[in-house]
Amino acid sequence: MANIYQVAERAGVSLATVSRVINGKSKVAQRTKDRVEIAMQELGYRPNSIAQSLASATSNRVGILVSVLDGPFFSNMLASIETTLRDAGKHVIITAGHSDEAKEKEAIEFLISCRCDALILCIDSISDDYLIELSDRNVQFAVINHQIPQIAERCFIVDNEQGGYLATKSAIDKGHKQIGYISGPSYKEDARLRLRGHQRALEEAGIEFDADYVYCGDYHDSSGEAGFDYLQSLDKSCTAIVCGNDDMATGVIFAARRAGINMPQQLSVIGFDDLIFARYTYPSLTSVENPISDMGTMAAFWILQTVYKQSTGNKIENLFKTRVVVRDSLSEPIFINDM
């Protein structure tokens, strides 16, 4: 493949001039420019991005770390990040961290050794301290789904408290009063915030919060099943169960069906994340939309502006609001029908 020298020679100009027309920044006479462009055409010239990177000390690579590649959660986000960055001429290198601290660190080091100009990190095992250290090392990165006060401007998060609030409020608005909650693990901040939102919705409606009606799960469907069994064992049975994520909600649906409970008439179920399969469950799952994909796009914009100094014309938002996507699993509680 032709290189810049051959283009220069054919166009009868110096390679510096060819470089100028490639980058389009500095002024080149229209005539010269045309000659160069024709020469590039004729030789089928394509700038060697590797040489460009070496000479400019900018790799034009953005590294992405997600905890799992093979799940429904991040794929939309990856798609939107890829689109945004490729349109800006950046290459995306994707790695998976497998929710393991050592592997996540290793993946980050891999991305750094790839000479990525910036990283987008969706981590769940790495400590805040490590990330702060990373920022002290002048590594440019954005964090998704994790709030770190010291580097708040590069964190992009969903309003988990609001999401938890909306989920429970949507049940209350339907007339539910006895509402169980299955939470994610309490060491996770998002789980705590979603639960707090749940509490706020109850209080606002004048329903007393009873900690007995909260089961602490682990975000996996099996804990949804266990949570359902637990909530069933209580004195007053719930007419609705709000879950910290969709996986646990499907666990509830499985367990409830196994227990012969009619959904949604006897039990409403609400999830969180609105994953792709929410519409395939039976009944289809009402869930809080997690705008993970928008957050990815925003992180990409932030990098384009902050790292590459490109003005994308987008205002950077760090906090993303949620909304409830209503499907069949939410309805009025049965005692209303009885009236």
String of contacts with DNA for each residue 24-63, x by CB under 7 A: --xxxx-xxx-----------xxxx--xx-xxxx------
Query: Closer CB to DNA, residue 34 or residue 210?
Result: 34
91 in contact with a second copy (CB under 8 A): yes
Contacts of 316 (CB under 8 A, 6+ apart): 298, 301, 302, 305
For the chain, how far is it from start to end, CA to CA, in angstroms?
80
Of the candidates 19, 250, 286, 287, which one interacts with DNA according to CB under 7 A? Answer: 19
| C-beta atoms surrounding 120 within 10 Å | 29
For residue 264, cis peptide bond before it (omega within 30 degrees of 0): yes
String of contacts with a second copy for each residue 112-151, x by CB under 8 A: xxxx------------------------------------
| C-beta atoms surrounding 148 within 10 Å | 16
Partner interacting with residue 26 (select from DNA, a second copy, none; CB below 5-8 Å by kind): DNA
Q: Cα–Cα distance between 264 and 318 in angstroms, integer?
A: 36
Q: Cα–Cα distance between 221 and 165 in angstroms, integer?
A: 22
Of the candidates 168, 199, 250, 322, which one interacts with a second copy according to CB under 8 A? Answer: 250
Considering only residues 53 to 82 of the shown chain, the ones binding a second copy according to CB under 8 A are 53-54, 59, 68-72, 75-76, 78-80, 82
Token digits for 113?
Answer: 């050794």
- Least gap, CB of 56 to DNA (angstroms): 4
List, in sequence order, every beta strand (DSSP E) within the chain.
61-66, 91-96, 118-121, 141-144, 155-158, 179-183, 214-216, 240-243, 268-273, 286-289, 319-320, 323-325
Binding residues (CB under 7 A) for DNA: these are 1, 3-5, 12-17, 19-20, 22-23, 26-29, 31-33, 45-48, 51-52, 54-57
Binding residues (CB under 8 A) for a second copy: these are 46-51, 53-54, 59, 68-72, 75-76, 78-80, 82-83, 86, 91-96, 110, 112-115, 250, 257, 276-277, 280-282, 293
